[in-house]
């Protein structure tokens, strides 16, 4: 077991905005947490009735498929950030505008089953990446638009962000 991967990131490992995601997590090895969450998330996604997949709880808000697409895109971005930092690249990475990305993805036109399949593939890739990091890599840092972040924080943000949005599915979409 990788001890560093089992410790929650410290506040100096990520910009303050992301504390809301990291606070969603319990304790344990982050790869194990991501693995356990993926099983529950896939079950939960498969339980969404197809006639609810385009439901929006409010005008202008994402529908269910768009929300799930956002979770996938965000996981890809943060996994890439972790990969970038792990390879000790020095240039800063850009941020991304979630609304622009979501509009460009056209998830509304996709089958929910395809989105779920994509989620499973992305998570498998993220898990393989997380498990590839040795003890010394978890605290490597990179820069995103002037903000410092560790690999450990990036992986924890992936898990906490997913929990945040699945909670929104329950609270606002009643799913």
Q: pLDDT tens across 68-127, in order?
A: 999 999 999 999 999 999 999 989 999 999 999 999 999 999 999 999 999 999 999 999
List the beta bridge partners of residue 141: 150
Q: Is the pTM of this model over 0.85?
A: yes
> Residue 136 is part of a domain; what is its CATH number?
1.20.120.450
- Give bridge partners of residue 148 from the DSSP assignment: 143
What residue numbers bound the domain in which 50 lies?
4-171
Number of independent structural domains in the chain: 1
Residue 77's SS3 state is helix
DSSP H or E stretch at residue 46: helix 30-46
CA distances for 166 relative to 19, 144, 174, angstroms: 17, 26, 11
């Amino acid at each position: 077991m990788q001890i560093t991967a089992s410790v929650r990131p410290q506040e100096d490992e990520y910009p303050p905005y992301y504390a809301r995601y990291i606070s969603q997590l319990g304790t344990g090895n982050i790869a194990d947490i991501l693995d356990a969450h993926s099983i529950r998330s896939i079950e939960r996604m498969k339980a969404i009735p197809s006639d609810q997949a385009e439901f929006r709880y409010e005008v202008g808000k994402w529908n269910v498929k768009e929300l799930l697409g956002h979770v996938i895109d965000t996981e890809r971005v943060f996994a890439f950030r972790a990969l970038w930092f792990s390879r000790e690249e020095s240039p800063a990475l850009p941020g991304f505008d979630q609304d622009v990305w979501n509009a460009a993805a056209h998830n509304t036109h996709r089958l929910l089953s395809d989105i779920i399949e994509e989620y499973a593939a992305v998570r498998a890739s993220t898990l393989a990446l997380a498990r590839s990091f040795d003890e010394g890599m978890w605290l490597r840092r990179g820069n995103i638009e002037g903000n410092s972040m560790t690999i450990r924080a990036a992986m924890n943000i992936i898990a906490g962000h997913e929990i945040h949005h699945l909670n929104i599915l329950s609270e606002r979409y009643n799913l």
